[in-house]
């Protein structure tokens, strides 16, 4: 593959947290002439059991709701089931008094969602996927009574290829889901529990979901569960964009930005001929690359330059300027998928030059200027993290500005920052320090399934969120011991995994995760 490439530049950085060297990912949405989608969010049927009261757990997901509607109730999707039960009057507001105790039964049930949807004959001709933006937590998905997939990560979406599994007319979709209690029940607590009594019951360190739900010094036990993200059926005739990233490197005098556009594309069949086109909207610069697509997701790279770029600055240092990068996948002269993402160009580095007395400095520099960072620690803005609205984010970001913050640290016991919050921080000039989602525990990296889950999660998260110029720092974790995790991950992946959590510079993350195809 020959990629047109402008002159290269090197930057020398030395630090122990992940810094984006103006690296800007974009999650590319599907706006295509050839692809389609059917929204499956809305009203679903749901029932539940604990294995004693209600149907047997092994059969509940296969039971057709329309045969016994009295066992089911209507609930909105997406919505956490604690919020749904509150709306039904089955629990009181858990934010008041000790009402959260009323809700504990919800996290201890096995739930079954059910809905039907109609598929046309024309759709059956295309490659199709069922997509769940968020499932919390351990889910089994059935289509027309057959298991088509499982998912155990509340941080990442669930995508299932259903080509050939759909039928013309009415299809039934069931999701069996539980909060993680049952999935972790038979897991070992030896070597991982550090003394908190509740952890012997929850074994939260086995679960890739917000850890604060299991009780923290600022939060009661309030275990979230349910289909908490949108659901849709997608189909494509030729190809679809999965994710993408743009890396922008600035010259020392900030007069030239080199943009490396990486796009991850999945074809419908093998050897699909396509053109990957990338355009900087503001400068009307365009570059094309002829590629061959396969059935699996493949990465392709285009490179562009922006001369005398308008820079993105933190609040109080300058303006927040943006560029828009559009990427299109063209097959047979037709755009079959495309996406546009707003980015900001800035140069980031950590100054770790020797301190005159002892040790080293640890100073964040943006666009060659030292920045005095001041801000606060961000924990989820509600006990039910999926219930936080954009309006609440706006209120909190405005309060941060009024308090003269220029940085928010996203705590590792919560969730990855949302696009809505990042967009507000981009516009406000508030920098973001993002922990990976580990906090106050030892994690079972010697379990291969767990290690693979973490690998996929981190790869997805870095691609998904790093487009935003406000996201300046990735940090490995919050207050925990990595002893069981790192040697075990090293066993499965032959690289120095310590660098996954303590990067010396952003180029390190690309090199170290190259085996993961980030």
- Beta carbons of 456 and 437 less than 8 angstroms apart: no
- Beta carbons of 147 and 140 less than 8 angstroms apart: yes
CATH superfamily label, 18-22+346-516: Glycosidases (3.20.20.80)
Q: 78 preceded by cis ω (within 30°)? A: yes
- Beta carbons of 262 and 248 less than 8 angstroms apart: no
Tell me what pLDDT residue 31 has: 38
Using alpha carbons, select from 135, 1, 110 the residue that is nearest to residue 48.
110
Tell me what pLDDT residue 1 has: 41
- Beta carbons of 502 and 352 less than 8 angstroms apart: no
Q: For residue 195, how many other CB atoms are within 10 A of its CB?
A: 6
Using alpha carbons, select from 507, 513, 408, 396 the residue that is nearest to residue 454.
513
Sign of CA dihedral 142, 73, 59, 139: positive
Structure tokens at 386: 């999926």
Structure tokens at 275: 């053109």
Tell me what pLDDT residue 513 has: 38
CA distance 392 to 381: 8
Using alpha carbons, select from 395, 406, 465, 394 the residue that is nearest to residue 435.
465
Tell me what pLDDT residue 101 has: 94
Using alpha carbons, select from 252, 212, 221, 251 the residue that is nearest to residue 103.
221
Tell me what pLDDT residue 518 has: 43
Q: For residue 347, how many other CB atoms are within 10 A of its CB?
A: 22
CA distance 67 to 511: 55
Q: Which residues of the chain have pLDDT under 70?
A: 1-33, 53-63, 191-197, 200, 477-518
For 36-234, CATH number out of 3.40.50.720, 2.60.120.260, 1.10.3720.10, 1.10.150.120 equals 2.60.120.260
In what order do the strands lie in the sheet containing 42-49?
73-77, 42-49, 110-119, 169-178, 138-143, 146-151
Query: Where in the chain are the domains?
Result: 18-22+346-516, 36-234, 238-343
Structure tokens at 316: 């109080």
Strand pairing report for 18-19 and 471-475: antiparallel
220 φψ region: left (φ > 0), alpha (ψ -120 to 50), beta (else): beta
Tell me what pLDDT residue 54 has: 63
CA distance 207 to 203: 8
Q: For residue 142, how many other CB atoms are within 10 A of its CB?
A: 18
Tell me what pLDDT residue 192 has: 63
Coil/strand/helix, residue 69:
helix
Domain 238-343, CATH 3.40.50.720 — does that match?
no
Tell me what pLDDT residue 420 has: 96
């Amino acid at each position: 593959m020959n990629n047109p490439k402008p002159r290269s530049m090197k930057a020398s950085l030395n630090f122990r947290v992940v810094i984006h060297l103006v690296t800007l990912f974009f999650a590319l949405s599907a706006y295509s002439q050839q692809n389609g989608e059917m929204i499956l969010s809305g009203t679903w049927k749901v029932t539940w059991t604990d294995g004693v009261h209600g149907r047997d757990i092994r059969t509940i997901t296969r039971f057709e709701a329309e045969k016994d509607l009295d066992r089911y109730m209507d609930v909105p999707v997406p919505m956490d089931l604690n919020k749904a039960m509150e709306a039904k009057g089955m629990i009181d507001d858990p934010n008041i008094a000790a009402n959260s105790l009323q809700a504990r039964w919800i996290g201890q049930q096995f739930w079954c969602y059910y809905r039907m949807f109609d598929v046309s004959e024309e759709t059956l001709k295309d490659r199709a996927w069922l997509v769940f933006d968020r499932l919390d937590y351990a889910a089994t998905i059935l289509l027309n009574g057959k298991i088509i997939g499982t998912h155990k990560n509340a941080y990442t979406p669930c995508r299932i290829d259903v080509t050939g599994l759909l039928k013309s007319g009415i299809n039934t979709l069931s999701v069996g889901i539980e909060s993680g209690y049952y999935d972790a029940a038979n897991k070992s607590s030896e070597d991982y529990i550090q003394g908190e009594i509740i952890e012997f019951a929850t074994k939260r360190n086995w679960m890739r979901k917000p850890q604060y739900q299991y009780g923290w010094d600022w939060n009661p036990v309030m275990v979230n569960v349910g289909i908490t993200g949108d659901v849709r059926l997608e189909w494509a005739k030729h190809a679809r964009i999965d994710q993408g990233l743009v890396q922008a490197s600035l010259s020392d005098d900030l007069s030239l930005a080199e943009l490396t556009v990486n796009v991850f594309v999945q074809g419908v069949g093998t050897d699909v001929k396509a053109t990957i086109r990338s355009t900087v909207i503001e400068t009307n610069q365009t570059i094309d690359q002829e590629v061959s697509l396969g059935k699996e997701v493949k990465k392709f790279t285009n490179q562009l330059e922006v001369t005398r770029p308008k820079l993105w600055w933190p609040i109080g240092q300058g303006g927040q300027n943006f560029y828009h990068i559009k990427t299109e996948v063209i097959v047979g002269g037709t755009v079959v998928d495309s996406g546009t993402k707003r980015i900001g160009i800035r140069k980031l580095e950590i100054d770790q030059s020797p301190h005159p007395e002892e040790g080293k400095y640890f100073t964040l520099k943006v666009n060659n200027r030292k920045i005095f960072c001041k801000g606060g620690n961000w924990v989820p803005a509600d006990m039910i993290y999926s219930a936080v609205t954009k309006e609440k984010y706006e209120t909190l970001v405005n309060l941060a500005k009024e308090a003269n913050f220029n940085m928010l640290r996203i705590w590792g016991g919560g969730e990855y920052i949302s696009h809505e919050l990042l967009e507000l921080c981009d516009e406000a000039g508030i920098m973001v320090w993002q922990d990976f989602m580990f906090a106050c525990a030892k994690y079972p990296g010697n379990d291969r399934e767990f290690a693979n889950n973490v690998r996929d999660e981190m790869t997805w998260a870095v691609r998904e969120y790093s487009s935003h110029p406000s996201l300046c720092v990735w940090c490995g974790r919050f207050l925990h011991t990595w002893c069981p995790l790192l040697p075990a991950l090293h066993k499965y992946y032959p690289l120095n995994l310590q660098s996954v959590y303590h990067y010396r510079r952003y180029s390190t993350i690309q090199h170290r995760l190259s085996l993961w195809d980030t």
